[in-house]
Structure formats: structure tokens, C-alpha cells
């Protein structure tokens, strides 16, 4: 549908479609290719997301397991080990954390984790039934009735909410501790939590329990709602999961320097996602879902995104795809540049030969993708330099990357100040800076920068044993003032600052490194919009994504019904955009008539007005009545009008003009 405004209206008065419109339909033939390209692209993005989530939560998982194990070993205390897992608004992060914890606890067979939610445990009896059922994994035995037979050597029947059932099961399966995780702790009633804690405390001499509280606010506010006796019975410790903002930064750092992922994330979409998280505190899963949708919309709305497939051949594309390639701004600039250089034959070949254009497009996409990866690599280098220099105005990696994808970032005040700071570093301060960017510079394909970095690092390492750090000639003034007293008269004299031979050599190497970094940034930071076929490799349709992220459904429906020509683009409605006409769709006519009425609309008057508008067709009354009923049913379905009990023969308006 990307080649049409909305859809092709096949009505009674719709205009005939000529054979020339078949070219538009050919663009849709690449939808399967684009869908496959999206699946391949998103698999790479998803692997990055999964790796980040696993690595970031792994340290918290290890700390929780270590805390529970150490608390159980201290048999002198009767307190229940309690871990407050603070995840903020990321409820999905809590669920994933508890799932990962359950997977890890399955290896040491002495622990067992069960998760409960407020919806499944409204009271103490339901809570006990739930955890006993989940722990014993025999729901069929305990689901019906309150009395069950327990096959554990007992001669009595136990109720299915009796903790002795769990205790017998734990003894048979050699489970030392039962961990109970409350996924949404704030949703539980404080009296219920207090009863649970008291019950677990009374069982501490027979069965060991540990509690995990998933908290969306803070541990202090959660403890305030618990009674004092309940908090005293807990041996609590707070664990904070990684914030969504930090996860976004990690994700940006993992993808911006990769040249094997197409398409690339644009500054508009990235800025929207980051600002959303900062202003509305969405969970990380919602942010990644929005990112996935933006990537999907690029493939579905842009027919040229089929070029992102690695195994694409010219036969997979239609004539319209090549025509579309010749109409993008980057291709026009290329042809104009070739003509200015008097290279007429290459320009003619690109305009006439589809095979030549395909090969050039594939090569251009590859080069542009590499250029964007180098921009990301340089951005990560600037971020590392900023972190080591301890600048007062610390910027995030995502904000730096957004600015780097703009124009003239290499000459921005931030970069100029950063380079000036490097120029004034002493040898002791330059050592951690050089070591922090060693890995990144090794990935850059700039021999001059690598040579300057290696020479300066070697010199600073050799000079690290000296008593005083080496100064840079750019960090000291050229002259110093000296006060001397002669015959009781004070005099002020200027004296030129001198540098030792080592400091002079250090200043030369530092200046060479500064110049190499400056030249590299000048060559790397280019405007992405000027890259070859940037329309293919970067998804940054800000207007489309804003409409998708924050859709205005009612405004779109209002415009479609009030001005059908804006969507149908048919000749029959072109001359009647403001006035009613029988050539317009029946639903649009009835909608316009409803807008001219009051809050209550008489059905007889509405039918009469509808017949007057349709009277130009000289059709049958039965057809007009059927059209009226169908249009009215559609308006009722959309909620624009509704029935009313005030008057049987009237309908009421549900919306007003402009809403």
C-alpha cells in the first residue's frame, strides 16, 4: 500500500483504472523480500538486546544467589532472607529477572523458586494454595476440594493450603530452601504480606524460606507500608536492576559501529526513543518494541529497502524499483556530479542500464554502511575520551551519536574543547586517556592515527618512572613574572618558561596525536544525508514514526470521511471537495449530513436529505435505502452516531466536527 495514498476505492462511481497504474502494483512485489530482510535484520538486533540484558542482569543474579546462600548458612539468626529487587517502571525486566533466577537455581537442587502475583493471591489461603501447587507441580491433586491425601507416610489428611505438604515435598526432593518471588509487591495488601512473613517465621525451625520482592518504587516506601514486626523479621538487602536508560545506552553502543546490520538507526528515531524514556519512564521492553516497529515500518513503507538483502539479484526487482532508485536525492546528486566532471558515459550508463545501476547501488549501500559504522566508532572514541577527562558536562553516548549524524559535528564547540583539553594533558593524565581508546583506535583504519597513538603511548609509558609528570608546552604560558628585591626596592621581571628535552619531545608527540585525531574526525564525520543511497540504509522517517507512535486516529477518520478525495484521489470527487455530491461515497455523504445536524438527528429527515443528495443519479429507491442503511451501519460501527432512548426515531451524535 505504500504506492497508494490509502486504498483503491472500487465503488459504483469510482474512476476507471488505466493500465498505467500497474507500475505502482509492481512495487508491492518486493514485500516478501522486504519481510525476509526485516526478519534477518531484527534477528541481529534481537541478539544484541538479549546479550545486553543477560550480561547486565548477571551480576545482580550472582549477588542475589550469594546473599541467599550466605543468609541460610548463618543459622544463628531467625530472620527470613529478603531481597528487594528494585527495577523501577520495568515490570517486564522483573519478570525476566525472576525467570533467569529460576533457571540458575535449577542447577543447585537445594533451592526452588516460585513466583506469585497479586491477581492470583488475593488472600492468605489462595496464596498458600498457589505456592504449594507450583512447588509440588501437581495441580490436579490439589485443585479440587480442600482435603487431599498426602503420600508421605502420614496417616492423616491435610488441607491443600497446609505448609506441611510443601515441607514433606521438600524433604523428599532434598530442597533446602523455598524462594518465593512477589513480582508486583506494591499490589499486595500490607496485611497479607505481614501474615505471610509471620507464617514463614513460624516455620523457620522446620523449613527455610527466602523472599524476593519486586519493587517498582523504592525500598523505603515499600517498607513503610509494612508493620514494624514484619520488617524486623526480615534480613533484607536492596538490589537494583539496570535502569532502562543505561540499557538504551548499552544498546546504542553495541550497534552503532557494526557494518553488518542494515538499515541503521537514524537520529530522529533514536532521539524520539530517548526522549520518551526520559519524559515518560517507559519500561525497556516498550522501548525495544517501539524500535522494532520503527524498523519494520522502514521495510514496509520503503520499497527500496529490499536492497538491504545480501543475496538480492537484479531479477528480484521490477522496473519501478529502478525508476525509484533514479529519483532519490542521492542518485540525482551523483549524476549531477558526474556531468560537472564531464563524465557523460558513466552517467548515461546509470540512467539507461538497470544492471549497471544495481551494481552501483549495491556498492554504494556497502560504502555508506561502512561510513556510518566509522561514525559510530569515532563517536565511541569521543565518549571514552570524555569519560577519562572527567568533563563537568558529561554527555551520553546516544546524544553524541545523534549530534554526530548531523552536520559539522567535527567543528562543534564540544569537539573543539575536547581536542584542546587533549592538547594540554600532562603525561600522568595522558596515560589513562591513551589506554582507554587503545581498543577503539586499533579498529580504525587510519595508519597515521594508530602510529601517533602508539608512539605517544610508548613514550608516556617509558616516562612514567620519573619523579615529576611531563608538562605540555600548550598547558603553560610563555612568560612568568618574577619578583626581586634589590636595595630595598621590589622589582617585577618577566621570565620565559623553559621546557626540558623530554617535555619538548612529549609536546611534539602530543601535538602529532592531537592533529591525527582532528584529521580523522574531520574525515569521518560527514553528513549522512549526503551518503550514497542514504534513503535505503537509514530509517529516520520522523513524521511517519511520530504518526505511528502517537496516532491521531479520530482526526484521520474525520478527514477521510469529510474529504474523501484526499485519500481516494479519484476524478469524481475532485471537483466536489467542499460541496456534497452523489459521486462521493455513501458513508462520507451521511457523515457530512450528520455534522450539519444537532445532537439528536431525526431519522426521517436524515433519510430525506440523503435521498436529495443521491437524487442526481436517478436510481432506484430500494438502492438508495440500502445505501443509506449500509452507511448508517458503518457510522454506528465507528461510534460516530449511536441510538438513544429519548426518542425511538432519532439517533444521537457521538463526535463533533474537528474531534
Which domains does the chain show, CATH number per domain?
Answer: 74-242 (3.40.50.300), 248-444+521-534 (no CATH), 553-653 (1.10.10.10)
Whether the predicted pLDDT of 25 surpasses 50: no
Phi, psi of 638 (to 5 degrees): -75, -10
At residue 16, the pLDDT reads: 41
pLDDT in tens, 439-458: 898 888 888 899 999 999 99
At residue 567, the pLDDT reads: 74
533 secondary structure, DSSP code? T
Quick one: what percent of the chain has pLDDT higher than 90?
17
pLDDT in tens, 115-174: 888 888 888 988 888 888 888 764 344 444 444 444 444 556 777 788 888 888 888 877
At residue 576, the pLDDT reads: 55
At residue 371, the pLDDT reads: 92
Helix (H) or strand (E) holding 223: helix 219-224
Task: Write down the pTM of the prediction.
Answer: 0.69
At residue 345, the pLDDT reads: 92
pLDDT, mean of residues 254-271: 86
- Dist CA 426 CA 407 (whole Å): 32
pLDDT, mean of residues 548-559: 72
pLDDT band at 656 (very low <50, low <70, confident <90, very high): low
Q: 307 to each of 34, 322, 373, 399, how far by Cα in Å? A: 9, 11, 18, 29
pLDDT, mean of residues 32-37: 89
Strand, coil or helix: 153: coil
- Dist CA 428 CA 610 (whole Å): 86
For the chain, give the mean pLDDT. Answer: 80
Strand, coil or helix: 408: coil
Comparing CA positions, the residue from 312, 214, 224 lying closest to residue 262 is 312
528 secondary structure, DSSP code? G
Whether the predicted pLDDT of 491 surpasses 70: no
The answer to whether residues 468 and 500 touch, using CB atoms and an 8 Å cutoff, is no
At residue 478, the pLDDT reads: 52
The answer to whether residues 272 and 549 touch, using CB atoms and an 8 Å cutoff, is yes
Whether the predicted pLDDT of 401 surpasses 50: yes
The DSSP string of 42-54 is HHHHHHHHHHHHH
pLDDT in tens, 582-623: 888 889 889 888 888 888 889 989 998 988 888 755 556 778
Q: In 74-107, which ranges are continuous DSSP H helix?
A: 91-105
Comparing CA positions, the residue from 472, 391, 480, 479 lying closest to residue 424 is 472
- Dist CA 426 CA 216 (whole Å): 46
- Dist CA 440 CA 376 (whole Å): 11
Amino acid at each position: 500500500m505504500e504506492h497508494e495514498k490509502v486504498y483503491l476505492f472500487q465503488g459504483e462511481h469510482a474512476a476507471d483504472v488505466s493500465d498505467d497504474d500497474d507500475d505502482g502494483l509492481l512495487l508491492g512485489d518486493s514485500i516478501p523480500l522486504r519481510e525476509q530482510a526485516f526478519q534477518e535484520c531484527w534477528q541481529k538486533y534481537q541478539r544484541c538486546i538479549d546479550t545486553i540484558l543477560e550480561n547486565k542482569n548477571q551480576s545482580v543474579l550472582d549477588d542475589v544467589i550469594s546473599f541467599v546462600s550466605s543468609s541460610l548458612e548463618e543459622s544463628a539468626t531467625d530472620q527470613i532472607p529478603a531481597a528487594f529487587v528494585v527495577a523501577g517502571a520495568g515490570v517486564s525486566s522483573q519478570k525476566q529477572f525472576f525467570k533467569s533466577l529460576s533457571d540458575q537455581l535449577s542447577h543447585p537442587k537445594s533451592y526452588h523458586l516460585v513466583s506469585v502475583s497479586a491477581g492470583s493471591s488475593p488472600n492468605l489461603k489462595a496464596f498458600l494454595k498457589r505456592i504449594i501447587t507450583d512447588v509440588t507441580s501437581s495441580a490436579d491433586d490439589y485443585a479440587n476440594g480442600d482435603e487431599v491425601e498426602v503420600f508421605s507416610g502420614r496417616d492423616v489428611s491435610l488441607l491443600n493450603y497446609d505448609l506441611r505438604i510443601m515441607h514433606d515435598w521438600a524433604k523428599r526432593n532434598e530442597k533446602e530452601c523455598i524462594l518465593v518471588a512477589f513480582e508486583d509487591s506494591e499490589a499486595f495488601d500490607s496485611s497479607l504480606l505481614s501474615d505471610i512473613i509471620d507464617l514463614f517465621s513460624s516455620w523457620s525451625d522446620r523449613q527455610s524460606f527466602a523472599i524476593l520482592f519486586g519493587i517498582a518504587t523504592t525500598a523505603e516506601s515499600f517498607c513503610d507500608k509494612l508493620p514494624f514486626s514484619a520488617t524486623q523479621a526480615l534480613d533484607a538487602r536492596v538490589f537494583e536492576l539496570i535502569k532502562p536508560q543505561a540499557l538504551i545506552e548499552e544498546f546504542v553502543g553495541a550497534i552503532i559501529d557494526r557494518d553488518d546490520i542494515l538499515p541503521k538507526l537514524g537520529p530522529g528515531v533514536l532521539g524520539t526513543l530517548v526522549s520518551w524514556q526520559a519524559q515518560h519512564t517507559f519500561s525497556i521492553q516498550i522501548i525495544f518494541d517501539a524500535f522494532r516497529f520503527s524498523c519494520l515500518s522502514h521495510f514496509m513503507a520503503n520499497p527500496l529497502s529490499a536492497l538491504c538483502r545480501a543475496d538480492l539479484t537484479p531479477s528480484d526487482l521490477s522496473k519501478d524499483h529502478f525508476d525509484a532508485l533514479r529519483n532519490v536525492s542521492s542518485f540525482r546528486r551523483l549524476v549531477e556530479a558526474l556531468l560537472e566532471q564531464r563524465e557523460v558515459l558513466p552517467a548515461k550508463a546509470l540512467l539507461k542500464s538497470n544492471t549497471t545501476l544495481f551494481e552501483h547501488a549495491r556498492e554504494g549501500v556497502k560504502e555508506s554502511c561502512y561510513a556510518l559504522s566509522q561514525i559510530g566508532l569515532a563517536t565511541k572514541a569521543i565518549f571514552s575520551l570524555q569519560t577519562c577527562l572527567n568533563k563537568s558536562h558529561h554527555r551520553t553516548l546516544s546524544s553524541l551519536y545523534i549530534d554526530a549524524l548531523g552536520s559539522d559535528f567535527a567543528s562543534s564547540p564540544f569537539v573543539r574543547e575536547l581536542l584542546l583539553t587533549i592538547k594540554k594533558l600532562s603525561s600522568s593524565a595522558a596515560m589513562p586517556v591513551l589506554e582507554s581508546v587503545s581498543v577503539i583506535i586499533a579498529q580504525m583504519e587510519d595508519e597515521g592515527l594508530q602510529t601517533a597513538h602508539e608512539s605517544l603511548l610508548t613514550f608516556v609509558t617509558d616516562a612514567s618512572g620519573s619523579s615529576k609528570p611531563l608538562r605540555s608546552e600548550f598547558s603553560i604560558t610563555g612568560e612568568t613574572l618574577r619578583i626581586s628585591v634589590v636595595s630595598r626596592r621590589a622589582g617585577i621581571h618577566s621570565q620565559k618558561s623553559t621546557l626540558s628535552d623530554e617535555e619538548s619531545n612529549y609536546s611534539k608527540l602530543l601535538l602529532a596525536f592531537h592533529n591525527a585525531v582532528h584529521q580523522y574526525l574531520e574525515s569521518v564525520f560527514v553528513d549522512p544525508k549526503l551518503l550514497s543511497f542514504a534513503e535505503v540504509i537509514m530509517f529516520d522517517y520522523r513524521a511517519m514514526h511520530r504518526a505511528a507512535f502517537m496516532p491521531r486516529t479520530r482526526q484521520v477518520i474525520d478527514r477521510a470521511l469529510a474529504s474523501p478525495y484526499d485519500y481516494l484521489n479519484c476524478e469524481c470527487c475532485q471537483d466536489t471537495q467542499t460541496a456534497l455530491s452523489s459521486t462521493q461515497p455513501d458513508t462520507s455523504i451521511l457523515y457530512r449530513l450528520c455534522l450539519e445536524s444537532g445532537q439528536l438527528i431525526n431519522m426521517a429527515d436524515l433519510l430525506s436529505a440523503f435521498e436529495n443528495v443521491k437524487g442526481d443519479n436517478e436510481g432506484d429507491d430500494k438502492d438508495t435505502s440500502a445505501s443509506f442503511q449500509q452507511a448508517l451501519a458503518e457510522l454506528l460501527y465507528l461510534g460516530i452516531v449511536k441510538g438513544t432512548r429519548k426518542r425511538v426515531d432519532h439517533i444521537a451524535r457521538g463526535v463533533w466536527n474537528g474531534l
